[in-house]
Amino acid sequence: MRSKTPSRRQQGRRITRRDFLVTSAVAAAGAIAAPTVLRAQTKKWAGKTLHVQFWSGPEGDNIIKHVVDPFKAETGAEVVVDYGNTAASIAKIRAQKNDPQIDVFFLDDIGVYTTAPEGLLTKLDLAKIPNTKDLDPQFVVLDGLGVGFFTYTDSLVYNTTYFKTAPDSYEALFDPKLKDKVGIPASDGMDAMKLLIASARLNGGDQKNIEPGFKKLATLKPNLHSFITDFAAAGELMKSGDLLLMFHATYLWKEQQAKGYPLRPTFKVKEGVYTTPACATIPKGHPAPQELAEAFINKSLSAEAQTGMAQGLWYGPTNSKVKVDDPMIRANLVMPEDFKNMVPVDVPSLAKVRQEWITRYDQTLKG
């Protein structure tokens, strides 16, 4: 969400930078220091190419820095990155089912639940992904067709100039005093589905009884300023006071908080927060060796990579060995011990109605 970086909601393609040539002296020193297993692995994957797809913008930059680049350095493999949000990744998995071009997809868990029943995914060999032993079992999805490598949480993000104390209910979004001052997610992501479920629960319904949610959401229209797709722009609107409250993924506002912008997330919402695992999955028939794809996923599950991602963009870790001590980061992060305030979402059921809900979400708020 920087001016020169495409947002998560945009689609595009970028190939990662090729590694710079290393001088012979440094290479020799590295070879001496490296363990035998690493030297063998480097020789094994040198000259091999892995194709992966995940989000663009700050999310993608964070993954490249803490997963892609270290993996390339450690293994000698080249990694080619395509960009797409979860909806785009689902579409690509389906479109390429007869001729897959991508080896690993990183996408929201609903992407796994959507494509797995269609027979489009390869089961992971967890024995070859040793970092899974440090995960809570909940992050091994559909018996190994996907695995969660970070979490993000949707809750309220509020303007601290306007709100002297953090709002403690999603009802704040519907307050008539916030006319034209509320930002919400666009329909194509899981964030919007969570807002719909939250609206239903405010109005006597729930995920299995969603009609009250659409009725409640219709009453939000007078307060709606915009659908948040450009996160840097949304931060500026919060700074200027044009936006006072948002429902969105909370990790997106790191850069603005560092600059002192008057915005802050809260996880102390009495109706609970919505935490989603981002998952790694491998499509059937992918071109690269399965072992190489699983090695890449293993890297994303390492405590080192997840600590870096948590510090880099406040991704919630799934590896139990990750420790976060910085109070600023911790205040913006949902750790496994915080899941007690998490609203459970039946993702398999949601996958079946997701497209219908997207259409009706737009009709309700844009019609």
pLDDT tens sequence across 129-161: 999 999 988 899 999 999 999 999 999 999 999
Residues 146 and 37 both lie in one domain: yes
Residue 67 forms part of a structural domain: yes
Bridge partner residues of 130 (DSSP) = none
The SS3 of residue 264 is strand
Phi-psi region of 196 (alpha: psi -120 to 50; beta: other; left: phi over 0): alpha
Q: Answer yes or no: do 223 and 359 share one domain.
A: yes
Q: 357 and 220: one domain? A: yes
Contacts of 22 (CB under 8 A, 6+ apart): 30
Residue 3 placed within a domain: no
Domain co-membership, 215 together with 292: no
Whether residues 145 and 60 fall in one domain: yes
List, for the chain, all residue ranges whose pLDDT scores fall below the cut of 70.
1-43
Do 56 and 134 lie in a common domain? yes
Do residues 230 and 167 both lie within one domain? yes
Same domain, 49 and 130: yes
Residues 322 and 339 placed together within one structural domain of the fold: no
Q: What pLDDT is stored for residue 43 in this prediction?
A: 63
In the prediction, which pLDDT does 334 show?
83
- Residue 246 placed within a domain: yes
Residue 73 lies in a domain: yes
Output the domain CATH number for residue 313. 3.40.190.10
Contact present, 299 and 305 (Cβ < 8 Å): yes
Residue 49's domain comprises 12-150+276-331
Taking each helix axis from N to C end, the angle separating 290-301 and 303-313, rounded to the nearest 10 degrees, works out to 60
Task: Kindly state whether residues 93 and 234 are assigned to the same domain.
Answer: no
Q: Are residues 293 and 259 in the same domain?
A: no
Residues 6+ apart with CB under 8 A from 295: 41, 45, 71, 75, 128
Q: Model pTM greater than 0.85?
A: no
Residue 252 to residue 257: CA distance in whole angstroms: 10
Q: Is residue 1 part of a domain?
A: no
User: Do 133 and 47 fall into the same domain?
Assistant: yes
How many structural domains are present in the chain?
Answer: 2
4 assigned to some structural domain: no
pLDDT digits (tens, 9 = 90+) for 24-47: 333 333 443 444 444 444 468 999
Q: Does some domain include residue 211?
A: yes
Domain-embedded: residue 5: no
